[in-house]
Amino acid sequence: MNTKGSEALLERAQRIIPGGVNSPVRAFRSVGGTPRFIERGEGCRIYDVDGNAYIDYVGSWGPLILGHRFGPVMEAIRSVLEVGTSFGAPTEREIELAEEIRAAVPSMEMVRLVNSGTEATMSALRVARGFTGRALTVKFEGCYHGHVDSLLVKAGSGMATLGIADTAGVPAGFAETTLALPYNSVEALEASFGSHGDQIAAVIVEPVVGNMGCVPPQPGYLQAMRELCTKHSALLIFDEVMTGFRVSFGGAQELYGIKPDLSTFGKVIGGGLPIGAYGGRADVMSHVAPSGNIYQAGTLSGNPLAVSAGLAMLRHLRAHPEVYRQISSAAERICAAAPEGVTANRVGSMFTYFFGSGPVKDWETAKVADTARFKSFFHHMLELGVYLPPSQFEAAFVGAAHDEEAVETTVDAIRAWKG
Ligand SMILES: *Cc1c(COP(=O)(O)O)cnc(C)c1O
């Protein structure tokens, strides 16, 4: 496979952009080789600058549930170009997107739009602290909630991929406001509430973890979390930036029947443009400025391009619930083809092949995966034109544009691996 064009661009990029990339995992550091510089995407495929085509299971890390250049989303963006790209004043479509989110996710009684998932979790946390008057946050090892200072503690995603235990640049005082517990352990959560119950403002969780690879909640776990938060008057925050409108239209909270106090969204709700949202209980959200004294703002928040793209995406998904069955069953077929000595974890259209044979239920059991075998598999697939996340600790995504032929090609490529 010719990658000369990507190699040249990487060299040039590295001279001006740290590591040559604008988000760490894109650099292929843990798998080695040349990160592909992408020229364009269409449906389930991306094309690099050397003209190589790949079936794309990254999907911009989650947003592109309907594939690249999805017609109605492109149309919505085009219509905004006719009227202006940013006003810094309220527009009707922002209400429409908020109403669309609330209709799908009833716990989102009030919604505030921001520009990224990171902004959403950062803001939700501030609201939880402002509302409860408490300082501590509980998070879980291997979960990633964006690059918020106090949440980069035992975080998954790029930090797990690069083996960075604790990032530099976060003062101890910030990190000390975070209690990091093992995921899927009710006992650990009980113990934490036992010792700090009256100081915990919020528990923030990826209800289905995507950022240490895909790790589902064990039966009863989220329910127990809900009960403990209620008992100790801490707010439960579901970080659905990845799972929202992905594992089902109403997100993980619909799938598991749990009502969090606050939730965060991003990725799918922007249709491939930068966006985030946080919201939840009206009695909590009404404390956000200008109705209340918890401050949060954004010059480009509610940006017309992002809001219109997201609206087109959500409206299509609402009108086509069969999409979720289709993408789940495609992911199921891919997981069924997992080679021996691989644990395939999947929830809906999110999945990860963990290169180890035991069950993976938390960071302890995820981190023992054989990353050398993963690397061999990753490059085998890439050579055959299948683009998986370049990390053992990231989830892959199937979208509605992955047709029969693409899934078949993928399964054949998996079966051809001699690792
Ligand atoms: C991607 C992600 C974020 C961060 O969103 P950005 O838009 O990258 O800032 C936060 N939480 C979860 C669960 C995510 O998957």
Q: Whose CA is nearest to atom 5 of ligand 1?
A: 117
CA of residue 146 to ligand 1 center, whole Å = 5
Q: pLDDT tens digits for 238-253?
A: 999 999 999 999 999 9
Compute the average pLDDT of residues 282-310: 98
CA of residue 205 to ligand 1 center, whole Å = 12
Q: Whose CA is nearest to atom 15 of ligand 1?
A: 242
Q: How far apart are CA 333 and CA 326, in angstroms?
A: 11
Closest ligand 1 atom number to CA of residue 143: 13
CA of residue 417 to ligand 1 center, whole Å = 32
Closest ligand 1 atom number to CA of residue 121: 10
CA of residue 315 to ligand 1 center, whole Å = 22
Q: What pLDDT is stored for residue 198 in this prediction?
A: 96
pTM: 0.97
pLDDT at 406 over 90: yes
Does the CB atom of residue 144 touch ligand 1 within 6 A? yes
How is domain 71-319 classified at the architecture level of CATH?
3-Layer(aba) Sandwich (3.40)
CA of residue 188 to ligand 1 center, whole Å = 25
CA within 13 Å, CB half, 378: 27
Q: What pLDDT is stored for residue 386 in this prediction?
A: 98
Q: How far apart are CA 25 and CA 122, in angstroms?
A: 21
How is domain 4-69+320-416 classified at the architecture level of CATH?
Alpha-Beta Complex (3.90)
Does the CB atom of residue 118 touch ligand 1 within 6 A? yes
Q: What pLDDT is stored for residue 156 in this prediction?
A: 83
Give the least confident one: 20-29, 129-138, 167-176.
Answer: 167-176
Q: What pLDDT is stored for residue 246 in this prediction?
A: 98
Does the CB atom of residue 394 touch ligand 1 within 6 A? no
Catalytic residues: 144, 239, 267
Does the CB atom of residue 410 touch ligand 1 within 6 A? no
Angle between helices 404-415 and 371-383 (to 10 degrees): 130
| Residue 274 pLDDT level (bands cut at 50, 70, 90) | very high
| Residue 71 pLDDT level (bands cut at 50, 70, 90) | very high
CA of residue 59 to ligand 1 center, whole Å = 14
| Residue 303 pLDDT level (bands cut at 50, 70, 90) | very high
pLDDT at 158 over 90: no
Q: What pLDDT is stored for residue 253 in this prediction?
A: 98
pLDDT at 165 over 80: no
pLDDT at 163 over 80: no
Domain boundaries, the chain: 4-69+320-416, 71-319
Query: How crowded is residue 33: how many other Cβ atoms within 10 Å of its Cβ?
Result: 15
For ligand 1, pick from 113, 114, 211 the residue to mutate: most ligand atoms within 8 Å of CB.
211
Give the least confident one: 142-146, 159-163, 377-381.
Answer: 159-163
Amino acid at 64: L
pLDDT at 260 over 80: yes
Q: What pLDDT is stored for residue 269 in this prediction?
A: 98
Judged by DSSP in three states, 107 sits in coil
Does the CB atom of residue 272 touch ligand 1 within 6 A? no
Does the CB atom of residue 123 touch ligand 1 within 6 A? no
Characterise 245 by phi-psi region: left (phi > 0), alpha (psi -120 to 50), beta (else). left
Q: What pLDDT is stored for residue 155 in this prediction?
A: 86
Q: pLDDT tens digits for 382-402?
A: 999 999 999 999 999 999 999
The strand order across the sheet containing 262-265 reads 110-114, 276-280, 262-265, 235-239, 200-205, 136-140, 178-181
Does the CB atom of residue 20 touch ligand 1 within 6 A? no
For ligand 1, pick from 145, 147, 243, 300 the residue to mutate: most ligand atoms within 8 Å of CB.
145
pLDDT at 167 over 90: no
| Residue 374 pLDDT level (bands cut at 50, 70, 90) | very high
Compute the average pLDDT of residues 277-305: 98
CA of residue 251 to ligand 1 center, whole Å = 15
Quick check: 181 and 217 in contact, CB under 8 A? no
Closest ligand 1 atom number to CA of residue 242: 15
Closest ligand 1 atom number to CA of residue 206: 13
Q: How far apart are CA 288 and CA 267, in angstroms?
A: 23
Q: pLDDT tens digits for 176-212?
A: 999 999 999 999 999 999 999 999 999 999 999 999 9
